[in-house]
Amino acid sequence: MPLAERPAEAADTLAALYPALAACWQPPEGAGDAGVEVTARFSLRRDGSLIAAPRIVFTAGVSGEGRRRLARATLAALRACTPARITPDLGRAIAGRPIALRLVQRRRAP
Amino acid sequence: MADTETVVLETTKGRVVIALRPDLAPNHVERIKTLAGQGFYDGVPFHRVIDGFMAQTGDPTGTGSGGSDLPDLNAEFNAEPHVRGTCSMARTNFPHSANSQFFICFDDARFLDRQYTVWGKVIEGMDIVDTINKGEPPRSPDKIVKATVGAA
């Protein structure tokens, strides 16, 4: 679920980094009644900037043009939210390693 | 019968009175009263309104995925039918995921029976509910201006 606001502090753990990145993400409108899910894989440098382009490795709840729009929105969110604010310790720990970020939006409905 | 507990929704279209049914769904009614008492619903849009079906609200984010800070509720599915004026709780495809979002039925929607927790019924102002701006989301959503717990 997207957070209302980005956390103010630099992330010191992956558990803190994930919601900070998720806060940038908003799935496109009309993207499935039950909600959508997307997983992006990418790597960060020590300073939190992206290495190469993230790849969308999984989507659910969308198909066809909806899937393409969800992928574009997700990649745009990652560009907008990087360099990620991370502590030097976390930067050293994760630099160059693959990160899989799973983003889920579950809508409530009848 | 003792005084019926109600929630009054002052909306941008007018006043809607909902009779609460703690006999059907005590925890859901408690949640509605708690959130209304906190002012949680004040200013919240009707973000998904489908003609002939229902008007959904209770999500401050207006996206349909939001909720309150309180934990999700365990389902209290009951036999009360989803008909015109029925107030029932929205959820994800997981049964125990109702939180703050609810919907008011415009018409029969019996396929929702025992799938969604019914917790109240509009006893006044259903004509107001009919005029709530339609859309998913509406271009110009109507809002709950103020929700108040009372007795009628």
Task: Domain ranges for chain B, please list them.
Answer: 5-151
Task: Measure the CA–CA gap between B72 and B151, rounded to whole angstroms.
Answer: 26
Q: What average pLDDT does this structure show over A24-53?
A: 86
CA distances from A104 to A109, B64, B146 (A): 16, 13, 31
Contacts of A109 in chain B (CB under 8 A): 48, 56, 64, 90-92
Confidence category of residue B152, pLDDT binned at 50, 70, 90: low
Domain containing A48 — which CATH number?
3.30.1150
Whether A4 has a pLDDT exceeding 70, the answer reads no
Q: Say if B48 is an interface residue toward chain A (CB within 8 Å).
A: yes
Mean pLDDT of B48-74: 95
Q: Is residue A1 part of a domain?
A: no
In a domain, A42, yes or no: yes
C-alpha to C-alpha distance for B30 and A88, rounded to whole angstroms: 47
pLDDT at A1 over 50: no
Task: Assess A96–B contact: CB distance below 8 Å, yes or no.
Answer: no
Q: Is residue A84 part of a domain?
A: yes
Structural domain boundaries enclosing A46: 14-105
Residue A95 pLDDT greater than 60, yes or no: yes
Give the pLDDT confidence of B94-104 residue by residue, as tens digits: 899 999 999 99
What pLDDT is recorded for position A24?
87
Chain B CB within 8 Å of residue A19 CB: no
For residue B4, pLDDT beyond 70: yes
Q: Note whether A70 and A31 are within 8 A (CB).
A: yes
B5-151, CATH topology level: Cyclophilin (2.40.100)
User: Is pLDDT at B63 greater than 70 in this prediction?
Assistant: yes
Domain count, chain A: 1
CA distance B28 to B74: 9
